[in-house]
Amino acid sequence: MSIAGGQRSKGANGWLLSAPALVLLVFAASGPLLIVALYSVLEKGDYSGVRWILSGDGWFRVLFERDIFDQTVSLADANLSIFWRSVKLSISTTVITFVLGLPTAWFIATRPAKSRAFWLFLITIPFWTNLLIRTFAIMEVVRNEGILNTALISAGLISDPIQIMYTDTAVLIGMTYVYLPLMVLPLYAAIDRFDFRLIEAGYDLYASRWQVLRGVILPIIKPGIIAGSILVFIPSLGAYVTPRLLGGGKNMMIGNFIELQFGQGQNWPLGAALSTVLLLIVLVSLVVYTRVSSRDNPHG
Amino acid sequence: MNTNIAVDARNIGKVYGNGPSAVAALGDVSISIEQGEFFTLLGPSGCGKTTLLRCIAGFETPTSGTIFLSGQDITHTPPNQRPVNTVFQSYALFPHLNVAQNVGFGLKMLGRPAAEVAKAVDRVLSLVKLQEFADRLPQQLSGGQQQRVALARALAPEPQVLLLDEPLSALDLKLRKEMQSELKRLQTETGITFIFVTHDQEEALTMSNRIGVMSQGALLQVGTPHEIYEHPVNRFVADFIGETNFLDGQVDGGRVRIGTGDMLDVQLSGQTGDVTLAIRPEQIQLGTADAGLTAKITEATYMGTDTHYTVSLSDGSKIVARVQSNSVGAFKVGDTVGIGIDTKAVQVLKT
């Protein structure tokens, strides 16, 4: 009986042990989110900040704009195109990093055990360098007088430099470069566990190379593909530095647009509402993605 | 050309690597396997039997030689275009597919309509008695069940030849015995040519129509289990298949003089000079020490129905005799006994 009693008292006070984590979750994670949500429904201050009056204006201006002369309401095309560009660029980045990352991860996973560490080291090196510096390095490659254009011109392939800087292509190149390791590492972990004898079994059972890839390899390394895609897609959607430097002022993504509201735009409620929208896009994407990717395999 | 030949491998050589570090896994192996035969490639690990099997499956391309399947040259045909299926040692079942999907994989890849695939899967699963497991995933099955799924998966496309790469080695003894008779039954029922690779001589003897014994990349002897056991061509085969005593001797006037000076009246077929006699333990009788060959018992091991006696001849060479436990009064270690050898059964091997 005393043993049972001891267990009960342990159970009753056990939650205290998780108190530090609880405090961290409530104040450090949920707290700021709640402040963002709260600010989004307040009225904008005269210069910056908010006035403590409830207002739907921040949310209204996420999608709509009001003509300053006749007060007519119309869709905010500029905002929508920023959302659309962000989602489009993030999906493109995810797809491109997957297409580049799969053979890379496959290559590393099929090296002898001794040299794998070296290849993984090469993949992770960029993490050690400041993002700003890496982005400037990409600028040096793609700008009109940069390495790429100089090489193409001197090779006689083009006569005038290709305008890559300050286009979506530059942003895409930059984000692909920055987020590629986040795709390669989970793919590598999945391929490393893959039983390569299954490939022979596939060939033996009349599958072509393509069928082995689609029917055997991809379904089995799917957890790695899902992890890599999420790791790339989420930060891509909220990217700030890369689109700012490579896309210039005109080719904004959501991250830059939000920053604008808290800086020059001086519209904190709109910025807060946009942040919440970004969060919702991420959540909805995750739900849709995991649903779709596990549909064909109930056990995946 | 004989139309009953399923697999005809001619002068197959396989060398891994090149230059001074090259390793020859197979050196000039020729073998003909008949349609509907249960053929076993037997040998110790590293003898090249699995390499030969992988050449037939298409996973390896021989460095030299030609492989014919039902008369067609398939030496350079990729594995997915050969009507040959493999049961892998590790089973290699697809972990993301259930049993039915695993079994139907080959037919699906061949582009058969779904209804036909489903019917074939049903039929093959009932053949291996796994109908009720169709919806399970491989990792939810026991080792023996996984083994049968692997078998069903390879049988479903009705290959001309089924290759089995030590498929029973991961099973415990009882299950292995069960699967041996199961395999034999499946082979008889389907009529498919089986090529079975194993290092277990007992497995080979009990299951096969014919056995090919391999060592160090060479095929030493091909024959029925009876031929291989009773008439091994050399010392390696005699030693590898069952227990064998070897006695060195010289041919002398139609008989063989062994180390003790005794003459044995064995059946010679033209051998001269130094020879090795291969004598199975059951071909040796022990009796009272009077005339002829005598020996001292150094070890007695009771095995149930049999007792194994290790005896030492007067020249110090040791041989093992297997005697039915109840046939004679038990001998004791240290006894001197008379040795009777069934000389007609003794194999004379070139040294």
Q: Which residue of A has its CA nearest to B139?
A: A299
**pLDDT tier for residue B47 given thresholds of 50, 70 and 90:** very high
Nearest to A219 among B81, B96, B110 (CB): B96
Distance of CA A65 to the CA centre of its chain: 28
Q: Are B86 and B165 in contact (CB under 8 A)?
A: yes
- pLDDT tens profile A254-285: 999 999 999 888 899 999 999 999 999 999 98
Which of B97, B103, B109 has the most A C-beta neighbours within 10 Å, making it the best mutation to test the interface with A?
B109
Kindly provide the b/e burial profile for residues A18-39, where b requires at least 16 CB atoms within 10 angstroms of the residue's own CB. eeeeeeeeeeeeeeeeeebeeb
The pLDDT value recorded for residue A299 is 42
Which three-class secondary structure state does DSSP give residue A126?
helix
Nearest to B157 among A195, A206, A220 (CB): A206
| B184: amino acid identity, one letter | K
Rounded CA separation A30/B295 (Å)? 92
The full set of domains in chain A, from first to last, is 10-73 (no CATH), 77-296 (1.10.3720.10)
- Chain A residues within 8 A of B92 when measuring between CB atoms: 195, 197-198, 200-201
Distances (CA, A) of A120 to A138, A269, B224: 22, 44, 55
CB-based contact A205 B58, cutoff 8 Å: no
The pLDDT value recorded for residue A89 is 95
Question: What is the interface size between A and B, counted as CB pairs within 8 Å?
Answer: 65
Q: Is the pLDDT of residue A294 over 90?
A: no
Element (H, E) at A295: none
- Could you write out the three-class secondary structure of A174-238? HHHHHHHHHHHHHHHHHHHCCCCHHHHHHHHCCCCHHHHHHHHHHHHCHHHHHHHHHHHHHHHHC
Identify the DSSP state of A261: H
| Position with higher pLDDT, B135 vs B1 | B135
Q: DSSP readout, A24-64?
A: IIIIIIIHHHHHHHHHTTEEEPSSSSEEEEE-SHHHHHHHE
Query: CB burial class (10 A; 0-12, 13-18, 19+) of residue B8?
Result: buried
Chain A positions touching chain B (beta carbons under 8 Å): 195, 197-198, 200-208, 211, 215-216, 219-220, 297, 299-300
Please compute the mean of the pLDDT values over residues A176-193 and round it to a whole number: 95
| B297: amino acid identity, one letter | I
Mean pLDDT over each residue of chain A, to the nearest integer:
89
CB-based contact B109 A297, cutoff 8 Å: no
- Chain A residues within 8 A of B95 when measuring between CB atoms: 195, 220
* pTM for this predicted structure: 0.82
- Number of C-beta neighbours around residue A108 at 10 A: 22
Q: Is the pLDDT of residue A224 over 50?
A: yes
The pLDDT value recorded for residue B291 is 64
**pLDDT tier for residue A103 given thresholds of 50, 70 and 90:** very high
Q: Are B297 and B334 in contact (CB under 8 A)?
A: yes
- pLDDT > 70: percent of chain A: 94
Nearest to B96 among A204, A207, A220 (CB): A220
Nearest to A206 among B59, B94, B109 (CB): B109
- pLDDT > 70: percent of chain B: 98
Residue among B26, B85, B45 at smallest CA distance from B169: B45
- Chain A residues within 8 A of B78 when measuring between CB atoms: 203
CB-based contact B57 A204, cutoff 8 Å: yes
Bridge-based pairing of strands B84-87 and B161-165 is parallel
- Hey, which residues 107-136 in chain B have their CB within 8 Å of chain A? 109-110
- pLDDT tens profile B165-223: 999 988 888 888 888 999 999 999 999 999 999 999 999 999 999 999 999 999 999 99
B16 touches A at CB < 8 Å: no
- pLDDT tens profile A18-53: 888 888 888 888 888 999 999 999 998 888 788 899
- pLDDT tens profile B20-38: 888 899 999 999 999 999 9
B86 touches A at CB < 8 Å: yes
Beta-bridge mates of residue B73: B68
Determine the distance in angstroms separating the CA of B87 from the nearest CA of chain A, rounded to an integer.
Answer: 9
Nearest to B80 among A195, A203, A219 (CB): A203
- pLDDT tens profile A228-253: 999 999 999 999 999 999 988 778 89
